Chains A and B, each alone.
Chain A
Amino acid sequence: MNFDLNDEQRAIKDTARELLASRFKLDKVRELAESGSYDDAIWKEIGGLGWAGIAVPEEHGGQGLGIVELMLLCEEVGYACAPLPLFSSAAAGLVIASAGSDEQRERWLPELSSGQVTAGIPATAPEDDSVMIDADGAAVLAFDRGEGPRLAEPSEVEISGLDLIDRTRRYSQLSGEGGQEIPGEIDWALAAITIAFAGELTGLAQRAMEMAVEYARDREQFGRPIGAYQGVSHACAKMLYDVEEARSLTYYAAWCADAQPESLPLAASMAKARASEAAWDVAAASLQVHGGIAFTWEHDLQFFLKRARVSSGLYGTPRRHRNRVADIAGLGSLEPATA
C-alpha cells in the first residue's frame, strides 16, 4: 500500500504547476476573463504537449496514462484558474476512446490528443438546461439530449453563448439533435470525467486557501498579523481540513477509475460532492479572511470564487451526488456496498 504520487506523477504535477504559473499569471487570467476568451497561442503550446490525450491509449495518439494523471493536470488547471479548453478536450477524448466507434476514434482522437482541435462537452444533464463547456470554437461536440450520447460537428447543431458569473471558462447551450450516435457504454467515462473535474475543484480550493493564508500572515490589524487571531487562523485550519478531505477522496476516486472499477460509482460521487463543497466553502472563507479588498473587482480571488461556485454545480450537484452516496452506502434498494 502506498498512498502517494509516484515520481512520474509528481513530475507531471510539478511541471504543470510551473508551466501554468508562468503562462497564466493572474493578470493574464483577468485579461482573458474580461474579454471572455482563450489565448490560442497558449493553447497551441500546452495542447501541443499532449495533455488532452494524457489518458487516451497510445494507439489512438494519446499518452496512455491514467485518470490519476489527468486529474492531476486538472487540479493544476484549477490551481491556476486557467482559461484553457483542456478539461473539455480531455473529457471528450475519454468518451470517444472508451465508447466511440472505430471510425469516431480514428477521426477525432489523434487530433484531440495532440491539441490540434478542441471539443465541447456537456456539463449538466439535459433536464438542467444542457449547459456545454467550450462548445464555441470546438471542432467536435459530444452531448446527450436525453436520447443517448452523440457526437456532432458544430454545423450540425445550434449553439448559443451563455454568460455565467465564471468568465474563466466558456459556457453555452446547445439545441438540435444532429450528428451520430456514440455506440458504446459511457458510464466509466462519465465517472472519470467527474473525477477529473473534482481535481479541478480541489485545485481551486487549494489556491483560495493559499491566498487566505498568505494574506493572513501579511495583513496587520490591532498591531499584529490577523493570522494570529484564532477567528482567522482557525478558519484557515478549516480550509486545510476541507482541501485535504477533497484531495483524499479525489485521488482515491481517480485511482479507482484506473485500478478498482467496482468502487468507482461510490468513489466518484464522494469525490465530486466533497470537492464541490470544499471549493465553495474555502473560496467563501477566503473572501472573509481578506475583508473588503476581496469584494472588489480588482481583486483576483473573485475568479476562484466564481469558478468554484459555477463548477460545483456541474457534473452533478453535490446534493445529487450525496443522494447517490446514501444509496450506495446502504440506504438504496440494493445491498450495501463497501468502498
Chain B
Amino acid sequence: MDLTLTTSEQAFRDEIRGWLEQNNPGAAPVAGDDAEFEFRRGWQKTMHEAGFAGLSWPEEYGGRGASMIEQSIFNQELALSRAPMPANVLGLVMGGPVVIAHGDTEQKERYLEPILSGEEIWCQGFSEPDSGSDLASLKTRAVKSNGGWRITGQKVWTTYAHEAKWCMLLARTDPESPKHRGITYFIFDMEADGVEVRPLRQITGEAEFNEIFFEDAYVPDENVVGEVGGGWQVAITTLMFERAGLGAAAAISVSNSLDDLIALIRERGLAEDPMVRDRVARLKMGVEALRLGGMRTLTRTMKAGIPGPEGSLGKWEWASVNQELGELAMDVLGPAAAVDGEEWTYRFLRSRANSIEGGTTEVLKNIVAERVLGLPKLR
C-alpha cells in the first residue's frame, strides 16, 4: 500500500500541471448554450494538439498509450485546475473506448481521430420512453434494407444529440430473439434523412438533452459495431466505461465544490453553527471516501484489466454526496438561495439528476446486492 505517486507519476503530474497553468482557458461562459459548447470544443482542440485528448488510447489511434493511472492523474489535475470539460465527453469516455474495444480496423481509422479533435461530437442513444432502467426492453427497430438497416423509433434524454455528428445507437434487429440478444449497436449518422432532434428543457432551464425521432432512417452495415445481435455486450462495455470514467475526476470536482461551500459558510458567518459544522464534516468524509474509494477501484481495475461491479458503489456515493452538498448550500444561502440563474442554484438543481443519469441509485443498489453481495434476483 503506497498512496503517494511514484517518481515517474509525479513527473507526469508536474508536466500536466505546468501545461494547465499555461493553457487553462478558465471557466466556460454560462452553462447550457451553444457559446459554452463551442468554448469547450475549442478547449478540447487545444488539449488534443498537446496530445492530451484520449491520453490512455493506444498511440496508433492518436492517444499516448498512457496507463490508467496517468489518465486518472490527468483527469484529476484537470478538475483541480477547474478547467472546463472537453466538449466531446461522451465520445472520449464511451464512444472511442468502445470502438477501440469492439470496432474493426476501418471503424478505428474512421472514427477515432475526429473524436479526439472534437470535430465530431458523439451522443448516446440508449434510453427510450418505455425503456430506461430496463434498457434491454428497448423497442427502436432496425430492419434489413440493401446493404444496411432502416431505423424507426424514439430515443429520449439524449445528451448533446443537438450537437452530435454520431449517435451510439442501440436498436432491435431481431424481435424474435430473447430481449438481450436481438439488439445491435450502430454508429448512426445524425445528419441522415429521417432523423429529428427535439430539445428537452431540464429543470435547470437549459436543454442539454433531447428526444430523437427516427423514421425509416438509413444506416449502412459498416456502421455496426461488434456482431449483429451482439449489441448488448457492446452496450455493457459502454456503461462500464461511463461509470469508471466518472471516477477520480468526479471526486475532485465535488471536493472543489465543498471548498467553495466552506468559503461561503465562513462568509455568511455560519462557521460556528453546530448543525452546519456537522453537515460539513459529513460532506468532507463523504468527499474523501469517494476520492479514496476511487483510488482503491483504480488499483483493482489496473490489476483486473476491466472495471468491476464495485464501480456502482462510487457512482451512488458521488450522487449522494453531491446532492447533500447542494442542499447544504441552499440552506446556507437562506431565502436568497432560490434566485434563478445563480451558480449554487444551478448546481443544486443539476445535482438532482445525479441519482438518475448513468443508472439510477436504485438500479446501482440492485447491482451491488446481486453482483457484489450475491443476493438473489427478484424475478
A residues whose Cβ falls under 8 Å from a Cβ of B: 1-6, 9, 68, 213, 216-217, 224-225, 227-230, 232-234, 236-238, 240-241, 244-245, 248-249, 251-252, 255, 259-260, 270, 273-274, 319, 321-323, 325-326, 329-332, 336, 339
Contact of A326 with B284 in the complex, beta carbons under 8 Å: yes
Contact of A5 with B365 at beta-carbon distance under 8 Å, contacts A228-B376, A240-B372 already known:
no
Across the interface, do A248 and B4 meet the contact criterion of CB distance under 8 Å? no
Residue of B nearest to A5 (CB): B1
| CB closest chain-B residue, reference A232 | B375
Q: Is the CB of A270 within 8 A of B285?
A: yes
**List of A residues within 8 angstroms of B300 by Cβ:** 4
- B289, A237: Cβ atoms closer than 8 Å: no
Residues of B within 8 A of A274 (CB): 285, 289
* B376 and A322 within 8 A (CB): no
Q: Does B50 belong to the interface (CB within 8 Å)?
A: no
Contact B262 A216 (CB under 8 A): no
Are A3 and B271 in contact, CB atoms less than 8 angstroms apart?
A: no
Q: What is the CB-to-nearest-CB distance from A255 to chain B, in angstroms, rounded to a whole number?
A: 6
Please state if A331 and B262 are interface contacts (CB–CB under 8 Å). Answer: yes
Q: Are B362 and A234 in contact (CB under 8 A)?
A: yes
Q: Are B366's CB and A330's CB within 8 A? A: no
Interface residue total, chain B, C-beta cutoff 8 A: 53
CB neighbours (8 Å) of A9 from chain B are: 1
Q: Is B259 in contact with A330, judged by CB distance below 8 angstroms?
A: yes
Say if the beta carbon of B170 comes within 8 Å of chain A. Answer: no
Kindly count the residue-residue contacts between A and B in the assembled complex, taking CB atoms under 8 Å apart: 164
Q: Which of A1, A216, A244, A325 has a CB less than 8 Å from the CB of B295?
A: A1
Asked whether B201 is an interface residue with its Cβ less than 8 Å from the other chain, the reply is: no
- Pairwise interchain contact A251-B1, C-beta atoms closer than 8 A: yes
Q: Return 25 A-B CB contacts under 8 Å, by A number.
A: A1-B3, A2-B2, A3-B1, A3-B295, A4-B299, A6-B1, A227-B376, A228-B377, A230-B365, A234-B365, A234-B369, A237-B366, A237-B373, A240-B373, A241-B316, A245-B289, A248-B289, A259-B3, A270-B284, A270-B288, A273-B281, A329-B284, A330-B259, A331-B266, A339-B291
Confirm or deny: B198 has a beta carbon within 8 angstroms of a beta carbon on chain A.
Answer: no
| Chain B residues with CB below 8 A from A216, complex form | 375
* Known A325-B285, A339-B288; contact A217-B296, beta-carbon cutoff 8 A: no
